[in-house]
Amino acid sequence: MRKKVIAGNWKMNKLFGEAVEFVEETKNKVVSQDKVESVVCAPFPYLPTLVEKANGTELAVAAQNMHFEESGAFTGEVSPSMLADIGVTYVVLGHSERREMFAETDETVNKKAHAAFAHNLIPIICVGETLDQREANETMTIVEDQVKAALAGLSEEQVKASIIAYEPIWAIGTGKTATSEQANEVCTHIRKVVADAVSATAGDAVRIQYGGSVKPANVDELLSQSDIDGALVGGASLEADSFLQLVEAGAK
């Protein structure tokens, strides 16, 4: 059985005190990592403090992005070695907001995935279609291309350790959740793409999250689907209570 992963993506929200308060409030309440992985994806300036606060607990801390290079003249960027050095363990890659607003491409996402594994960071690789693409019946090919490009050149072991987040762009922050059937249909397709491109074992092992207006009221239904192994949650992850409810759902 694949272990579920509940990740709260705070995006560009919370001031420092609020971030610390959230971690203090949740770190001893999240369910054991044997049952579900609980992750908060926080803004860069808070990461060292949050990692320190969460140290020795069941809560993991992730970055929301990184550069693929080790170091150098990349003003404003953060490297994978910097994240690993301060104890970050997961990193979100290729979120649609970064693809749309910050020129992230399939190629950079792939470079970042390789860089993540070089530093023992677990990548949460985001894929998903726009509303226009869905209406044009292009969802499966768009997502397939994104998945294949992101995973290109990774070893079977690395693919097995990867997390893919299927986030239909039209469902992000809109209150419009994909139905659990719509979400599962795409997650099943992603698993098949991984199985065909890498191996049946990798397809079976890779964890696939759904993201897009997930909240305590709809999470059970989504997580009950055969190929959905967790959730990447924006808005509903900002409050400690709501995040804890999502984690509880992941442990059921």
Ligand X SMILES: O=C(CO)COP(=O)(O)O
Q: Using alpha carbons only, what angle is made at residue 31 by residues 29 and 34, rounded to the nearest 5 degrees?
A: 150
Of these residues, 104, 144, 167, 248, which one is catalytic?
Answer: 167
The answer to whether residue 232 forms part of the interface with ligand X (CB under 6 A) is: yes
Least distance from C-beta 196 to ligand X, angstroms?
26
Sole window of 68-76, 82-90, 99-107, 208-216 interacting with ligand X (rule: CB under 6 A): 208-216
**94-153: which residues touch ligand X (CB under 6 A)?**
95
Catalytic annotation on 157?
Answer: no
Beta carbons of 62 and 124 less than 8 angstroms apart: yes
Residue 230 makes contact with ligand X by CB under 6 A? no
Q: How far is CA 233 from CA 50, 69, 96, 146, 158, in A?
A: 18, 28, 13, 20, 24
Residue 173 marked in a binding site: yes
Whether the CB-CB separation of 180 and 224 falls below 8 Å is answered with yes
213 is in an annotated binding site: yes
- Mention every residue, 6+ apart, whose C-beta is less than 8 A from residue 224: 180
Between helices 16-26 and 240-251, what is the axis angle to 10°? 40
Annotated active-site residue 95? The verdict is yes
Residues tagged in the binding site annotation for substrate: 9-11, 173, 213, 234-235
Residues tagged in the binding site annotation: 9-11, 173, 213, 234-235
Binding site for ligand X (CB under 6 A): 9, 95, 167, 172-173, 211-214, 232-236
